[in-house]
A and B are shown apart, each in its own frame.
Chain A
Amino acid sequence: MPELTTMTAWDRVQLARHAGRPHTMHYVNQLCDEFIEFHGDRLAGDDQALIGGLAQFRGRSVMVIGHQKGENTKENIARNFGMPKPTGYRKALRLMRHAEKFRFPVIAFIDTPGADPGLASEEGGQAFAIADNIYAMATLGTPIVAIVIGEGGSGGALAIGVADRVVMLENSVYSVASPEAAAAILWKDAARAPEAAAAMGVTAPELRAFGLIDEIIPEPIPAHEEPAAMIAAVGDVIDRQLAALDALITDGPAALLDARYAKYRAMGRFGIRA
């Protein structure tokens, strides 16, 4: 791997996808005192690519949701490589509603190449499931902190990512489409993915400069080389961000929701013709 300071966008895509990179369950196991996983969307099934449950995190009761990639090929097939189906998004929605009911903050770990693009997912209303989550998160009356730990792939990421605070690990990426998909759209040539990654500005430093994310968690050593230290650092940031959001919910969720609306309402740059 090249030096961190001279890394290209494509180098970071490779790090973000590294098989040894800590995934959601690594964070849960190290950071939470208790974790009770909840299963299923109460409708059609239980998606292994998007998991969630209640946990104790540094003295708080929280709802954790996250994309879950596998550790090996066999597990990756079971986890669909971290690409949720509609049933996964509907499970996440159910758990977010649950969190809202009990006023537990939501911690969302983002790590997906994108939402599953299969035949059954289309039949099951993939687009509709993602849209429902975005809509629900816009007015969910409890704090939401999202952490991009690896790949933030398009709508599949945003479906659990409309948060009050969005933080990224330094070597994670977040993009409107996967570099391969973007290259296929722009040039009909997926092999030009490295160029697409560079052109789209997918890295944490670029997205922070655009004001689209709130904080970068430094990754002086790639996460897969020192996972325990990385996970601990992420825990500190989540703790601090949740504490900062406490001030917005002292009199109910109104201030929190106003701030969340304003945050997303302001995103996007355009000109005004004189």
Chain B
Amino acid sequence: MRELFRRQPRFTTSDDEDARSKVPEDLWVKCPKCGELAYTKEHLQTHRVCQRCGYHFRLAARERIDLLADEGSFVEWDTDLTTDDPLGFSVDGESYADKARKTAAKSGMAEAVISGEIAVDGQLLAIVVTDFSFMGASMGAVYGEKLARAAERAVAGCTPLLTISASGGARMQEGLFSLMQMAKTTAALTRLTEQRLPHIALLTDPCYGGVTASYATVADMIVAEPGALIGFAGPRVIEQTIRQKLPEGFQTAEFLLEHGLIDRVVPRSALKPMIGSLMRIYQQAAGCLVPPAILASEVADA
């Protein structure tokens, strides 16, 4: 029966280009974990969580914003930063510059992160969200710069910072510049600490390497989505090193929780209210008693 539905012609109601691009690619979505089929409309309404087994599908950065933002509250920052190719990196005849351009066109993302100001459950925050569809959300200079600026703007505006990360790690194509983004982003967070402003990190599937080993894991509170794979080295590298199969559930959010590495595993549906509650608690931390050292206008001019 299900196959019959699948073969129905795609559903279009308008010739208008914008409207047409919003039509889901398929009417049904199949859960890769339990095989359950869900009507796409319901799948999106439940923020891409399987209603049968609780599997959390990956979300695009914009979907993350939609999930958390109070209606119309998101204001994006630093949309003018573009990928540079400092090494003149090229493999097999394709330059990094070309690859970044193609990826941008395909993913609809200018780079691997978006940042901005957002209200969540009535609480104002600075937010940085990665999008895995842009080169595995690897961290290069634009990613690092946007994150550092967001931290500095959080200080200037006296707001907490929420980072939501899925990433393959540092971006190979920018060489050591990428490694140094780990130092740059992490250093920027020390400015929040000076003002007693909290940094909350949400780790999502998958999160590895240079991102897990820098800003994302020095947060005041670290939460992860159910089932998310999180680690330093990837499973393949570890298997090669130890020459044995990895245990069931290795590097999942639940595994990290058991090993005392993260604070909570939070299902997507509970995220927004939890952040709201948390922010109301932190409000009494007397953050920003010291006048901010950096003014928002100075950051914007830098």
Contacts and interface: CB of A to CB of B under 8 A. Distances in A.
A135 interface: yes
A154 B241 contact: no
Given A126-B232, A174-B176, A270 B81 contact: yes
A210 B237 contact: no
Interface residues of A, number: 54
Nearest to B84: A269
Interface string B177-214: 11111111011111000000000000000000110111
B251 A131 contact: no
Contact of A138 (B179, B190, B238): B190
A274 B82 CA distance: 10
Nearest to B216: A131
A268 B184 contact: yes
Interface in B59-93: 79-84, 86-87, 89-92
B271 interface: no
A182 B172 contact: yes
A187 interface: yes
Residue from B84, B91, B181, B187 whose CB has the most chain A CB atoms within 10 Å = B187
Interface stretch (A15-23, A29-37, A198-206): A198-206
A199 B182 contact: no
B232 A175 contact: no
A273 to B, nearest CB: 4
A181 interface: yes
Interface stretch (B16-24, B49-57, B137-145, B278-286): B137-145
Nearest to B136: A185
Contacts of A240: none
A273 B232 contact: no
A200 B172 contact: yes
Contacts of B242: 118-119
B148 interface: yes
B215 interface: yes
A221 to B, nearest CB: 26
A217 interface: no
Given A127-B212, A174-B176, A134 B182 contact: yes
A261 B187 contact: yes
A265 interface: yes
B107 interface: no
A134 B183 CA distance: 6
Contacts of B148: 265
Interface in B240-283: 241-242, 246-247, 250-251, 259-261
A268 B233 contact: no
Interface string B160-186: 000000001011101111111111101
A75 B141 CA distance: 39
B231 interface: yes
B213 A126 contact: yes
A128 interface: yes
B217 interface: yes
B127 to A, nearest CB: 20
Nearest to B144: A268
Interface residues of B, number: 61
A117 interface: yes
A122 interface: yes
Contacts of A134: 182-183, 186-187, 213-214, 218
Contact of B251 (A122, A176, A186): A122
Nearest to B87: A201
Interface of B: 79-84, 86-87, 89-92, 140-142, 144-145, 148, 168, 170-172, 174-184, 186-190, 209-210, 212-218, 231-233, 237-238, 241-242, 246-247, 250-251, 259-261
29 contacts: A115-B213, A118-B238, A119-B242, A122-B238, A126-B233, A127-B232, A128-B217, A131-B214, A131-B217, A134-B218, A135-B186, A138-B186, A139-B187, A154-B179, A154-B210, A176-B170, A176-B210, A199-B90, A210-B176, A210-B177, A264-B183, A267-B181, A268-B140, A268-B141, A268-B142, A268-B174, A268-B177, A270-B83, A272-B80
Interface of A: 115, 117-119, 121-128, 130-132, 134-135, 138-139, 154-155, 158-159, 162, 174-177, 181-182, 185-187, 195-196, 199-202, 207, 210, 212, 260-261, 264-265, 267-274
7 shortest interchain CB distances as A-B pairs: A268-B141, A117-B233, A138-B187, A271-B82, A127-B212, A127-B232, A267-B180
Given A158-B182, A207-B176, A210-B177, 20 more contacts: A121-B233, A122-B233, A122-B250, A127-B209, A127-B232, A128-B217, A130-B214, A134-B218, A174-B176, A176-B178, A186-B172, A187-B91, A187-B92, A195-B91, A199-B87, A199-B91, A268-B142, A270-B82, A270-B141, A271-B81
